Amino acid sequence: MSETTMTLPGIVITGASGRMGQMLVRTVSASNQARLVACLERPGHAWIGQDVGIAMGGPVLGVTVSDDPLEAFSKAQAVIDFTAPQATVEFAALAAQARAVHVIGTTGLEAAHLARLSAAARHAVIVRAGNMSLGVNLLVQLTRKVAEALDADFDIEVVEAHHRHKVDAPSGTALMLGEAAAAGRGVNLAEVSDSGRDGITGARGRGRIGFAAIRGGDIVGEHDVIFAGEGERIVLRHVATDRTIFARGALRAALWGQDREPGEYSMADVLGL
């Protein structure tokens, strides 16, 4: 490794065998702005002890998959984490201890998880977003603007579609879009949210923000924000066709977070939106 390469920020990928984990390993190892320094999986995982490139069915990458986060984080400047809520809060405490930037793509986080992330962010930088793509983060801004411009004569519905393996609903992106719509309207999402309608639900309430989720096949991620009025309808849409958009966003966040003050940041901060 050259001296210049050694000075690049070192990145750890958690959940390296996952759909996003593998995409992140490819993106970081191909980057000339960062170094892949460690890959993590849980104890007992079949990949532990193997070279991550070989485990992925490709060429040797020179990084052995480990189950020791503390040791991995101690040699890194950033941790990119697309795993599951419980794992993410545990990684946040360890990343803060190591003063490594923690980029969190994990969705399905509840209030108790978010409180633990806020505690960790007192000591280190956390960048978290339910969607790390440029397109969705622009869509969030557009949603807020359209919601600001229209009154409650326009019903707002967020419809999302994902692959059959997704475990949380509404998606993290749908919630970001719902929050943006609520902010545009000057209301609190928790007070107007309708999700999972089924049976005799009664007529739609004025001013509610609805969510619907589709799960099937290999859909990467699709989101519509519908503003439905009398005689017209506005639909804002984002369609993801390749997970590299999320991985590129996450790497950008990891680089952006270097030398920032401890705290909680979003992709809107990273992208300057």
Ligand X SMILES: O=C(O)C1=N[C@H](C(=O)O)C[C@H](O)C1
Ligand Y SMILES: NC(=O)C1=CN([C@@H]2O[C@H](COP(=O)(O)OP(=O)(O)OC[C@H]3O[C@@H](n4cnc5c(N)ncnc54)[C@H](OP(=O)(O)O)[C@@H]3O)[C@@H](O)[C@H]2O)C=CC1
Start-to-end Cα distance in the chain: 36
Q: Give the tokens for residue 35.
A: 């170094």
Q: Tell me which of 172, 210, 249, 257 binds ligand X, using CB under 6 A.
A: 172
The reply to whether 178 sits near ligand X by the rule CB under 6 A is no
> From edge to edge, which strands make up the β-sheet containing 10-13?
65-66, 35-40, 10-13, 78-81, 101-104, 125-128, 263-265
The reply to whether 107 sits near ligand X by the rule CB under 6 A is yes
Among positions 170-189, residues that touch ligand Y (CB under 6 A) are 172
Q: How far is the CB of 5 from ligand Y (least distance, A)?
A: 27
19 belongs to an annotated ligand binding site: yes
Q: Give the tokens for residue 226.
A: 């519908």
The reply to whether 83 sits near ligand X by the rule CB under 6 A is no
Q: How far is the CB of 218 from ligand X (least distance, A)?
A: 10
Choose the catalytic residue: 45, 113, 123, 162.
162
The site partner of 162 among ligand Y, ligand X, none (C-beta below 5 to 8 Å per kind) is ligand X
**Residue 166 annotated among the catalytic residues of the structure:** yes
- Cβ proximity to ligand X, 22 vs 131, nearer residue: 131
Choose the catalytic residue: 102, 166, 223, 238.
166
For 20, 22, 50, 58, the CA distances from 54, given in Å and listed in that order, are 17, 12, 7, 5
Place of tokens 């705290």: 263
For 28, 135, 183, 253, 273, the CA distances from 247, given in Å and listed in that order, are 8, 13, 28, 10, 19
**Residue 162 annotated among the catalytic residues of the structure:** yes
The site partner of 193 among ligand Y, ligand X, none (C-beta below 5 to 8 Å per kind) is none
User: Which residues does residue 215 pair with via DSSP β-bridges, in sequence order?
Assistant: 162
Can you tell me the distance from the alpha carbon of 194 to that of 169, in angstroms, rounded to the nearest whole number?
A: 12
220, 173 Cβ separation under 8 angstroms: no
The reply to whether 210 sits near ligand Y by the rule CB under 6 A is no
The site partner of 88 among ligand Y, ligand X, none (C-beta below 5 to 8 Å per kind) is none
Q: Which residues line the annotated binding site for (S)-2,3,4,5-tetrahydrodipicolinate?
A: 163, 172-173
Active site residues: 162, 166
**Per the annotation, where are the binding residues for NADP(+)?**
42
Residues interacting with ligand X, by CB under 6 A? Answer: 107, 130-131, 162, 166, 171-173, 221
